[in-house]
Structure 1
Amino acid sequence: MGRTILIGLLTMGGCAAVGEGARTVAQGAGAAATAPLEDLNLRRRYIPTVLLQAEANPYDARNLNRCSTIAAEIARLDEALGPDTDEPPMPDGRNLSQRASDAAAEAALDAIRDAATDFIPGRDWIRRLSGAEQHSRHVQSAIEAGRLRRAYLKGLGMRQNCAPPAAPRWFTPRR
């Protein structure tokens, strides 16, 4: 499978992109191969503090009486979650062969991750018994709470007539 991907990329004329894709696979292979450590709950995904705070109280409005404090809190959430859906995508400057190389590298890493976790018999039960499944649900809950809090803060910013980023990108404050 890996050879097929590389041959396809070479025929697209992306020799430099293939080199970059190979580096991406080499750098991510270790993490992909150690994926079973997460199933055994020996390695856990880090949950940023701002997401844990959002999970505890997504509608906390203390100290949010100024646009600058709302914008700062939204910036903390953006750092943990990535850009909100109202943000335009950042231009990445990659050409078609580079995007194809990156997609092939991600596919290769997914295949390595799948192969590393597929050999575990009763993987679902092991994840439940080790606590890995519970931690995975906690991570997803914290992400969802962070998204909810960011939306709440942008609504709060609109109500206070704040300019973006303390409000959605499309919002124009009244003068």
Structure 2
Amino acid sequence: MRRLFLLPTLLILAACNAGHSAVEGARTFGAGFGDAATAPLEDLNLRREYIPTVLLQAESNPYDLRNLNQCTTIGAEIARLNEALGPDSDEPPAPDGSYLSEIAADAASKAALDAIRDATTDFIPGRSWVRQLSGAEQHSRHVQSAIQAGRMRRAFLKGMGMQKNCAPPAAPAWFRPSRV
């Protein structure tokens, strides 16, 4: 008798979660709609992607050793880079406990936003030339260069942390400092 009661209860709970996921997906879509619809402004160089200061500093000198004589300062610098770049590839993804319906709603929202972005940028004739002439392509290359420099700096700092026998996050997540 309990099994007969358990199945409808589970179905109701699953349906509630799916409804909640759909609402969250709609909110995500609504939040990103403005950026997708105004994507041509980036092509015309009227709106630019912000480059965090820590990435600009890394781009100017990725191997700077000033004030990096302690594990805490190395870890703090890596934390600043993680904030700008997201987690490093050696760090496991944080378990977010997402339901499959939430993941599906996010994927559907992203696909719809990508379609809108494509539709709004496709109407610009000679888009690649417009990006070149407006300076948008040069800025896009600068953003990618800053990201690459930030990744190089983070790897360099983690190597320095290993050399100084620091514990993570001032070293890779898998590194275990030896006892001295």
2:88 counterpart letter in structure 1: D
Corresponding position: 1:141 with 2:180:
no
Please name the residue that 1:4 is paired with: none
Cα distance between partner residues in 2 of 1:25 and 1:155? 40
Root-mean-square deviation over aligned CA pairs: 1.0
- Gaps (5+ residues) in structure 1? 1-11
Shift of 1:26: 1.2
Please give the residue correspondences for 1:4-15 in structure 2 after superposition, counting only pairs within 5 Å: 13=15, 14-15=18-19
SS for the counterpart of 2:97 is coil
Q: Which runs of 4+ in 1 moved over 6 A?
A: none
Q: In the alignment, which of 104, 118, 133 is matched to residue 114 of structure 1? A: 118
* CA displacement at 1:171 relative to structure 2: 0.4
**Aligned counterparts, 1:49-64, within 5 A:** 49-64=53-68
Q: For residue 66 of structure 1, what is the aligned residue in structure 2? A: 70
Tell me the SS of whatever aligns to 2:48.
coil
Asked if 1:86 corresponds to 2:90, the answer is yes
Question: Which residue number corresponds to residue 17 of structure 1?
Answer: 21
Amino acid at match of 2:81: L
- 2:114 and 2:40 mapped to 1: Cα distance? 13
Q: Measure the CA separation in 1 of the matches of 2:124 and 2:174.
A: 48
Q: Which has the larger radius of gyration?
A: 2
TM-score (norm 1): 0.92
What is residue 103 of structure 1 aligned with on the other side? 107
- Give the Cα–Cα distance (whole angstroms) in 1 for the partners of residues 169 and 32 of structure 2: 33
| CA displacement, residues 132-164 of structure 1 (integer Å, 9 cap, x when unaligned) | 000000000000000000000000000000000
* Superimposed CA distance per residue, residues 84-121 of structure 1 (whole angstroms, 9 cap, x where no aligned partner): 00111011121000100000000000001101100000
* Structure 2 residue corresponding to 1:174, chosen from 152, 161, 178: 178
CA shift, 1:16, in A, is 2.1
Letter of the 2:61 counterpart: N
Match of 1:125 in 2: 129
Which residue is 2:48 aligned to? Answer: 44
Report how far residue 129 of structure 1 moved: 0.2
In the alignment, the residues of structure 2 paired with residue 111 and residue 81 of structure 1 have an alpha-carbon distance, to the nearest angstrom, of 25
Structure 2's unaligned 5+ residue stretches are 1-13
CA distance in 2, matches of 1:102, 1:137: 28
Give the whole-Å Cα distance in 2 for the aligned partners of 1:64 and 1:53.
15
| Alpha-carbon distance in 2 for matches of 1:69, 1:23 | 39
Deviating more after overlay: 125-134 vs 90-99:
90-99
- After TM superposition, give the deviation of residue 15 of structure 1 in Å: 2.3
* Amino acid across the alignment from 2:122: D
The one-letter code matched in structure 1 to 2:64 is: D
Partner of 1:18, secondary structure, is: helix
The number of aligned residues is 164
